[in-house]
């Protein structure tokens, strides 16, 4: 075989490898940190600065507790845990707040407690990640274990009956907890937890269950301030990949060119979010080599495949979906391969439904 013929066979083999179909990369379910500039803090009075007009501070509840507006108390009143006292961390008091002039504290002298505050937050978008954060500071005798953390319930469960009956009804089954604060005392520390919503509500919770074993009389102060709840995103703005690309929950997939956009539509059996993943393959005409030969060899059609791209995620839960792919810069015979995705709540987790691939060739 002549040398130039060997080279041409090698080139043909490489072209065949490049023409292997591309599938989306598998994505692990991780979360992208929220950007506070993209949406407002969803907690009401998360920094505890809203004052009750009658007290110019917190609201008074029996037996002698002061609680921040829009928050509920919860506790476990079973020995050895007892009910702590709740108070306003007024800037002139013994508990200076992290910021502003108010903060929430609960404390107890000589006895343990398992207690906290919580808020059920409305206007949550299902199957989007949210980050709840707050600053916490613990005080006690040297050697005290702080056991302080915060949690998010993705179902928005109410933890107590009302402001009068504050015994914990039980922990919701899908609570997500932050790491516990370190046992460094008298230091403000930010703790945070992220969870994906399973409904249009979430419950933000603070938790403390401190412990001290030693010769001194135990005392426990747990301070909280500057809480926030922001909607986050998925890495790269992409939904987690489905377990199958042949979901029976997705139907009526079609694509239609509308000007310089390819409009992809589909239906889902349950309200879910909307996104399309796609690749673009540009068409090249057959090339005739110019090297002198005893016969003419024509190279096959060459397709150049770009990285998988994604349309902007629409998190609104709907059953009729629509997403657009830009056709600007593309030409006749270019090929678009696309997959449609929707994400919705299941019993305990959110699941991504997917269908594809589909193809559209520009006329």
- Spell out the domain ranges in the chain: 3-30+236-361, 36-233
Query: Rounded mean pLDDT of 244-257?
Result: 96
Q: Determine the pLDDT at residue 185.
A: 93
Give the residue among 246, 264, 249, 259 at the shortest CA–CA distance from 336. Answer: 264
Q: Determine the pLDDT at residue 16.
A: 41
The 10s digit of each residue's pLDDT in 129-139 is 999 999 999 99
Sorting pLDDT into bands at 50, 70 and 90, what band is 291? low
Average pLDDT of the chain to the nearest whole number: 87
Q: How many angstroms separate the CA atoms of 187 and 129, rounded?
A: 29
Q: How many angstroms separate the CA atoms of 308 and 40, rounded?
A: 31
- Asked if pLDDT for residue 1 goes beyond 60, the answer is no
Q: Determine the pLDDT at residue 304.
A: 47
| Other beta carbons less than 10 A from residue 230's beta carbon | 21
Sorting pLDDT into bands at 50, 70 and 90, what band is 9? very low
Q: What are phi and psi of 3, to 5 degrees?
A: -60, -45
Question: Does domain 36-233 match CATH 2.60.120.260?
Answer: yes
The 10s digit of each residue's pLDDT in 131-178 is 999 999 999 999 999 999 999 999 999 999 999 999 999 999 999 999
Residue 239 has what DSSP assignment?
P
Helix (H) or strand (E) holding 230: strand 219-231
Q: Determine the pLDDT at residue 290.
A: 56
- Asked if pLDDT for residue 303 goes beyond 90, the answer is no
Sorting pLDDT into bands at 50, 70 and 90, what band is 17? very low
Q: Determine the pLDDT at residue 306.
A: 65
Q: Determine the pLDDT at residue 96.
A: 86
Sorting pLDDT into bands at 50, 70 and 90, what band is 248? very high
Read out DSSP for 156-168?
----SSSSS--B-
Q: Determine the pLDDT at residue 285.
A: 64
Residue 266 has what DSSP assignment?
E
Q: Please state the pTM of the whole predicted model.
A: 0.83
Query: Rounded mean pLDDT of 179-199?
Result: 95
E strands of 92-177, at which residues?
104-109, 115-121, 129-139, 148-153, 176-177
Higher pLDDT, 56 or 66: 66
Q: Determine the pLDDT at residue 289.
A: 58
Q: How many angstroms separate the CA atoms of 288 and 6, rounded?
A: 17
Q: Determine the pLDDT at residue 56.
A: 84
The 10s digit of each residue's pLDDT in 265-289 is 999 999 999 999 999 999 876 655 5
Q: Determine the pLDDT at residue 283.
A: 83
Q: Which residues of 160-185 are buried (b: 16+ CB within 10 A; e: fewer)?
A: beeeeebebeeebebbbebebbeeeb
Q: What are phi and psi of 213, to 5 degrees?
A: -125, 115
């Amino acid at each position: 075989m002549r040398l130039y013929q060997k080279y041409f066979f090698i080139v043909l083999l490489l072209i065949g490898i490049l023409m292997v179909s591309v599938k989306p990369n598998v994505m692990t379910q991780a979360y992208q940190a929220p950007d506070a500039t993209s949406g407002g803090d969803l907690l009401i009075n998360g920094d505890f600065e809203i004052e009750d007009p009658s007290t110019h501070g917190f609201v008074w509840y029996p037996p002698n507790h002061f609680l921040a507006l829009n928050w509920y108390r919860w506790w476990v009143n079973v020995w050895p845990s007892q009910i702590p006292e709740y108070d306003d961390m007024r800037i002139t008091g013994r508990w200076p707040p992290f910021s502003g002039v108010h903060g929430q504290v609960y404390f107890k002298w000589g006895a343990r407690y398992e207690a906290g505050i919580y808020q059920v937050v409305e206007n949550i978008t299902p199957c989007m990640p949210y980050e709840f954060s707050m600053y916490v500071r613990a005080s006690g005798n040297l050697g005290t274990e702080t056991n302080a953390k915060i949690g998010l319930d993705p179902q928005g469960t109410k933890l107590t009956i009302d402001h009068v009956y504050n015994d914990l009804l039980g922990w919701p089954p899908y609570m997500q907890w932050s790491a516990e604060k370190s046992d460094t005392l008298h230091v403000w520390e930010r703790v945070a937890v992220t969870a994906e919503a399973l409904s249009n509500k979430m419950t933000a919770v603070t938790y403390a269950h401190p412990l001290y074993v030693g010769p001194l009389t135990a005392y426990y102060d747990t301070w909280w301030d500057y809480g926030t709840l922001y909607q986050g995103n998925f890495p790269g703005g992409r939904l987690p990949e489905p377990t199958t690309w042949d979901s029976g929950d997705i139907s009526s997939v079609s694509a239609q060119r509308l000007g310089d956009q390819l409009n992809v539509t589909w239906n889902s059996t349950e309200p879910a979010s909307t996104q399309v993943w796609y690749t673009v393959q540009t068409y090249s005409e057959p090339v005739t080599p110019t090297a002198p030969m005893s016969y003419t060899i024509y190279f096959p059609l060459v397709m150049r495949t770009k990285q998988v791209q994604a349309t902007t995620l629409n998190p609104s839960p709907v059953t009729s979906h629509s997403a657009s792919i830009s056709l600007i810069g593309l030409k006749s015979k270019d090929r678009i391969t696309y997959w449609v995705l929707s994400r919705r709540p299941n019993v305990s987790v959110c699941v991504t439904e997917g269908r594809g691939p589909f193809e559209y060739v520009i006329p």
